Structure 1
Amino acid sequence: MATAGIERAPMTQMQVGLLLESQLAGRPALNVLQFIVHFRGQTIDIAAMRQAWQQLTTRHDVLRTALDPLAVDGPVQFALPEVEVDFLHLDWTGLDSKAQDEDLPDWLAADRRQGIALGRAPNWRVRMIQFAPDHVAMVIAMHHAIMDGQSFVMLLGDLMDHYRAYRDGTTPEPKLAASPSFLEICRAIADQDLTQAQEFFRDHLAGFDEPNRLDPVFLARPAEGAPPLDGQSSKIIAHRLDLRQSQAIRDRARAAGATTANIICAAWGLVLARVSGRSEAVFGLTRAGRFISRPAMRSVGCLINTLPVRSQLAGLTLDQLLQEQRKFVAATKRFEQTPLAVISELAETPKDTPLFDSLVMFDRVSPDTFVDLMGPEGKGADSRELSQMATAMTLGVYDNPEMLIRLEYDPQRFDAAGMERLAGYVVQTLLAMSEAGDVPLAQIQSLPDAEIAALLAQGAPADPVLPAEVEAPLIDLFEAAAARFPDHLAVETVAPAQATLDQNAGPNEGLSYHELDRRANHLAQRLRLEGCSRARLSASPCRAGTITSWHCWRCSRPRRAFCPSIPITPRPAFRT
């Protein structure tokens, strides 16, 4: 192949990672972005649209780029001097509307399953599906390794500027090639000095030695997890807030000197910590990646990167948490292209264990509002995006006037009902934050009212068992069993606990009747000495497992109630 005029640059680690997850892992549909724009009530000039796409290849080098992740001298990409756009016009006008509606999802799924041949240029395609003279769907398929969301929005704007010029028979206004170009940015990323970034993230993650694990109630059951039928196997739960709620969230963040993105991260960190039984959370945050050398606000390509956010919650108020999020974003702006693989090597988590399973993505506009940026042609049009990302769980928040919150998850790993609850916790936490002052985080409620009511109802059974109906008190029955079977196992942990308060036993060990009876007697005496009585409620922070049974039993000795202080438990449940 002739090399005259061909530019070359190393692939970024983000690009390599995206390819490893899809093509090199034999999952071609993974990380393929499929954007669909329906133009309704207008006639689209197909020839002019083709000319517009062809012109874009001159302005944006990423549209002329081929990728070679297996090159001998390391993953590399090449930008050709010119390419011929992969553009087809498909005529479906011979099908009735019912057949069109039924066939389109299958066609889109088949198009995704094709994957993307990234080793050639162009490695993206455009299909114009003609449903009627005044209805055309433009389907654009690109791999995430060459395009991110912010870049695509800019690309659409450029496209429609060129389209209107060609349709009206005029010459498009000359536009210089984007500067810096995508390949220039990739070379700058490869040449960056990571010394200061490594020092920052080593300190940022110091002491974090275990990723957040969701409670099993949120995980998929073994019976679930059937293999996906097509490339769109991820599931999405969406909540759209109203104008008042959306603005209240923005205003609350601003009042603390933070941004809307900061309050989104604060809410996710709080929810993630609570559902994993931790006082902190680490999750991924997608960064724009446009400050590597000089501002690249008009450059197009895959510029994003993922950085780990550590949200340490103990002792903080809401304002303090929001300000910590703001400080992290400011401190890492110059490090936002630090490869995640490099950061992971600095962490104290076990080797080959991901730092996180969840990702937060914040954007100004959602895919369904892209058409608002397309000028007159966007009126009466609608758009959407179909894709499947490799991250197990992604919280995507789009800052439309009516904020859109989407939780995308892998149904082979997570339970559908559990994810519905989790998405509800995020919404409730954001709303609670928007209405709260600078209060301790413990006062931010994550449970919706309906779930609180259900939990409280469980504490007041319709047909309770009264003490007079029991032949002997539970304590007497237990003491009799302890006398007869002192060495028999009384309680045990059926799954590894994240931590244990018992310094003399491992997290997987149980307690015999004798040992549980001995500890309960000792602690019951301590409670009496501290003045505890039957009229008082004991709340004790602990993790689920054998240690919970011990705490519960120690409280039953002096005939007192016990409620474990699990962070997600609603405050009303502690009332006497």
Structure 2
Amino acid sequence: MKNIEAFYPLSPLQQGMLFETLRSPEAEVYFEQLIYTLHGEFNTSAFERAWQRVLSRHACLRTTFMWEGLKEPIQLVHQRVKLPIEMLNWCGLSPDEQEQSLQDYLQADRMKGFDISQAPLMRLAVIQVAEDGYHLVWSHHHLLLDGWSVPLVWRDVFDFYEAFCRGEDLHLGPSRPYRDYIVWLRQQDLSRAEAFWRDALRGFMAPTPLGVDRSSGVAAGHNEQQFSLSLGTTSALQSFARQHQLTINTLAQGVWAILLSRYSGEEDVVFGATVSGRPAELTGIESMVGLFINTLPVRAQVSPGETALAWLKALQEQQIHARQYEFSPLFEIQGWSQVPRGSSLFESLLVFENYPTGGPGQESGVDLKVRDVRFFEHTNYPLTVVAGLAGQVMLRILYDRSRFDAATIRRMAGHLESLLVAIVADPHQTLAELPILSEAERYQVL
């Protein structure tokens, strides 16, 4: 095939995404859009050259997908791909007009989507809004890469950009190709994974109800709300986690399990969690760019009489043990469980973002710095809680607005914070004793 460097099968997660993309091509579910606000001197030529070199370095950024007439879909790596970069100048518009134009542009960009059989499955726009102010819009299909990969791509872009701005060249060898991960995946023993997941999910018969959702006449679609814990609360959480050798991820999973149990009235709950999916035994895996993440069920027995600390430690041990089966395809796990085919194993997803630091222009020697980052994404689940640590604990809750209203989501964030604060204050309370009401709600009750 002309201009084809390699072809190989899809990972199970890619297969699932491909199926969903083909089933609902108009949906924006795997359309990723990142919007950066940049300040400083912008060198267009160096920027374009930098991106082309990064595409040369990472095979997955030159990948498309083929399925028609094939028994199994494949991904094709193209030798050469030209990345479209649109240059726009909105300096003549007022700040309000610029913001409206940006929203219109982002919406139109999402509507355009991607033809996943045509390279590249990404594009860029650089929008000048002041003499030294720019919006940078990077859109790509999730089939190519995960959130962990985004800062890795940016690090390379700005390493090249910095060199080109100085009139120098930079030689970074090709990164380890994604196909090595596909080969590794195919060598894994699925029968051991099956035995583990059958045992882990034995006796669980139906997805945990969310308890606070309701059907309404509101049109389908997703909304998002963002919350952050104070620096003081974040610091107390980090000290608590260090003292008791717990991860912030374990705390997030723990309070989500407790809240699900309170909302549903069930002690045995299951939710989904996103794992990095990067196998430690693959040398160089931490700097590979591609789609490695996986979504797996987390089952938690929320025993009212157990103390919070002992329960959290047991939950963490359970997750450490499950790590060796992170490669397991979710659709297989679904089949190994006793939840009927056609029903989802879970309705809520918890994502803990613990990505490598760094992004465009951070700690670089060029006069171009990031002032703000926004992004657009949504998932297939009615409720997704995204937790992350960036100076403070940040929470984003993505929700199906036909099932949740904004006030319910605000209360939910308050309940999560109340649980975290209560556990840190006294980890020897039983799970039943932990309060979930926020201060405002307690005041209303009184």
Distance 2:362 2:18 in 1: 30
Task: Look up the match of 2:345.
Answer: 355
How far did residue 18 of structure 1 move?
A: 2.1
**Quick one: structure 1 residues 293 and 342, their matched pair in 2 at CA, closer, same or farther if it must change by over 3 Å?**
farther
Q: How does 1:397-408 map to 2 (within 5 A)?
A: 397-408=387-398
Instruction: Check 1:93–1:379 CA distance in 2 against 1; reply closer, same or farther (3 A cut).
Output: closer
Question: For residues 438 and 195 of structure 2, what CA distance do their matches in structure 1 show?
Answer: 41
Residue 248 (structure 1) aligned to one of 236, 246, 251: 236
**Equivalent position amino acid for 1:178 in 2:** S
- Normalized per residue, the structure richer in strand is 2
Please tell me the residue identity of whatever aligns with 1:409.
Y
TM-score where L is the length of structure 2? 0.94
Q: Name the CA distance, whole Å, in 1 between partners of 2:363 and 2:271.
A: 34
Corresponding position of 1:187: 183
Counterpart for residue 12 of structure 2: 13
Secondary structure of 1:149 counterpart: coil
Once the two structures are TM-superposed, the CA of residue 374 in structure 1 deviates from its matched residue by: 5.7
RMSD: 2.1
> Equivalents in 2 of 1:71, 1:391: separation in Å?
31
Q: Which of these two proteins has the greater Rg computed from alpha carbons?
A: 1
Shift of 1:378: 5.9
Q: Percent identity?
A: 28
Change (3 A) 1:164 1:272: same
**Could you list the runs of 4 or more consecutive aligned residues of structure 1 that deviate by over 6 angstroms after TM superposition?**
none
**1:468-489 Cα shifts (integer Å, max 9, x gaps):** xxxxxxxxxxxxxxxxxxxxxx
Give the counterpart letter for 1:287 in structure 2: V
- Rate the CA distance shift 1:413–1:99 in 2: closer, same or farther, 3 A: same
Match of 1:201 in 2: 197
Task: Give the superposition deviation at 1:103.
Answer: 1.1
Tell me the distance in 1 between the aligned counterparts of 2:116 and 2:379.
Answer: 17
* Cα distance in structure 1, aligned partners of 2:79 and 2:388: 36
Structure 1 residue 452: Cα displacement:
2.9
The CA deviation at 1:380 is 5.4
Give the deviation of 1:344 after TM superposition.
0.7
For residues 268 and 211 of structure 1, what CA distance do their matches in structure 2 show?
A: 15
Shift of 1:366: 10
Task: Return the offset for 1:292.
Answer: 6.9
Q: How far apart, CA to CA, are the structure 2 residues paired with 1:138 and 1:241? A: 28
Cα deviations by residue, 1:139-194 (Å, 9 ceiling, x for unpaired): 1001111111110011111111111111121102x212212x11221232234221
Does the aligned pair in 1 maintain the 2:63–2:77 contact within 8 Å? yes
Contact 1:10–1:190 (CA under 8 A) maintained in structure 2: no
1:294 lines up with 2:282 in the alignment: yes
1:351 shift after superposition: 2.0
Please give the alpha-carbon distance, in whole angstroms, between the structure 2 residues aligned to 1:98 and 1:387.
Answer: 24
Once the two structures are superposed, what CA deviation does each residue of 1:369-423 show, in whole Å capped at 9, x if it has no partner? Answer: 8457463556452211112222221111111221111111111222322222222
Structure 1 position 177 matched with structure 2 position 174: yes
Q: Say if 1:317 and 1:438, in contact at 8 Å, map to a contact too.
A: yes
Mapped contact 2:162–2:364 kept (Cα < 8 A): no
Offset from partner CA, 1:498-549 (integer Å, 9 cap, x none): xxxxxxxxxxxxxxxxxxxxxxxxxxxxxxxxxxxxxxxxxxxxxxxxxxxx
Give the partner amino acid of 2:47. M
Looking at structure 1, the residues matched to 2 and 351 of structure 2 have their Cα atoms a distance apart, in angstroms, of 41
Task: State the SS of the aligned residue for 1:52.
Answer: helix
- 2-side partners of 1:378 and 1:204: how far apart? 50
Partner of residue 412 from structure 2, selected from 415, 422, 426: 422
User: Given that residues 200 and 299 in structure 2 are in contact (C-alpha distance below 8 angstroms), is that contact kept between their aligned partners in structure 1?
Assistant: yes
Q: What is the distance in 2 between the residues matched to 1:102 and 1:301?
A: 33
**1:25 matched residue in structure 2:** 24
Partners of 2:277 and 2:292 within 8 A in 1: yes
Q: Distance in 2 between matches of 1:390 and 1:374?
A: 36
Deviation (angstroms), 1:316: 2.4
Deviation at 1:451, TM superposition (A): 1.9
Aligned AA (1:242):
S
Query: Partner residue of 2:55?
Result: 57
1:328 deviates by 2.4
1:410 to 388, 400, 411: 400
Q: Secondary structure at the match of 1:159?
A: helix
TM-score, scaled relative to structure 1: 0.73
CA distance in 2, matches of 1:47, 1:407: 39
| Contact residue 41 and residue 368 of structure 2 kept, 8 A | no
Task: Identify if the C-alpha distance between structure 1 residues 292 and 402 changes in structure 2 by more than 3 Å, giving closer, same or farther.
Answer: closer
Instruction: Report the residue type matching 2:25 in the other structure.
Output: G
Paired residues for 1:273-292 under 5 Å: 273-291=261-279
**Alignment correspondent of 1:515:** none
Matched letter for residue 237 of structure 1: Q
- Which runs of 5 or more residues in structure 1 are unaligned? 228-232, 458-576
Question: SS at the partner of 1:381?
Answer: strand
Is the 1:366–1:404 Cα contact (8 Å) retained in structure 2?
A: no
Q: Is the 8 A contact 1:36 1:137 kept in 2?
A: yes
Q: CA deviation at 1:52?
A: 0.4
Residues 164 and 71 of structure 1, relative CA distance in 2, 3 Å threshold: farther
- How far apart, in 1, do the equivalents of 2:95 and 2:24 lie? 38
The answer to whether the 8 A contact 1:242-1:402 is kept is yes
**1:363 & 1:24 partners in 2: Cα distance?**
28
User: Which one is further off, 194-203 or 24-33?
Assistant: 24-33
Deviations 1:103-137 (A, max 9, x none): 11011111011112211221111111122331121
Distance in 1 separating the partners of 2:402 and 2:67:
29
- One-letter identity of the residue aligned with 2:217: A
1:135-174 matched pairs, under 5 angstroms: 135-172=133-170, 174=171
Q: Spell out, residue by residue over 1:335-354, the C-alpha distance to the aligned partner (whole angstroms, 9 max, x if none).
A: 11110011111111122110
Is the Cα contact below 8 Å between 1:185 and 1:293 reproduced in 2?
no
CA shift in 2, pair 1:401/1:378, >3 Å: farther
SS at match of 1:21: helix
Residue in 2 aligned with 1:447?
437
CA change 1:187–1:28 in 2 (3 A) is farther
Contact kept? 1:370, 1:383, Cα under 8 Å: no
- Alpha-carbon distance between aligned partners in 2 of 1:249 and 1:378, rounded to the nearest angstrom: 34
Residues 264 and 75 of structure 1: CA distance in aligned 2, closer, same or farther (over 3 Å): same
Residue 297 (structure 2) aligns with: 308
Query: Does the CA-based 8 Å contact 1:371-1:383 persist in structure 2?
Result: no
| TM-fit CA distance, 1:92 | 2.5
* 1:2 has 2:6 as partner: no
Q: CA deviation at 1:294?
A: 1.2
Distance 1:110 1:234, change over 3 A: same
Q: How many angstroms apart in 1 are the aligned matches of 2:383 and 2:443?
A: 28
Deviations 1:296-322 (A, max 9, x none): 100001110011001111142212221
Q: Does the CA-based 8 Å contact 2:61-2:120 persist in structure 1?
A: yes
Q: Which amino acid aligns with 1:206?
A: R
Are the aligned partners of 1:128 and 1:137 in contact in 2 as well (CA < 8 Å)?
A: yes
- One-letter identity of the residue aligned with 1:250: Q
Match of 2:65 among 52, 56, 67: 67
Which blocks of at least 5 consecutive residues in structure 2 are unaligned? none
Counterpart of 1:132? 130
User: Residue 147 of structure 1 aligns to which amino acid in structure 2?
Assistant: L
Q: Return the match for 2:206 from 210, 226, 232.
A: 210
The DSSP-based 3-state class of the residue aligned with 1:403 is strand
2:275 and 2:296 in contact (8 A); partners too: yes
Letter of the structure 2 residue corresponding to residue 126 of structure 1? L
8 Å contact 1:364–1:400 — kept in the other structure?
Answer: no
The question of whether the paired residues in 1 share the 8 Å contact of 2:362 and 2:369 is answered with no
In 1, the alpha carbon distance for the partners of 2:412 and 2:42 equals 43
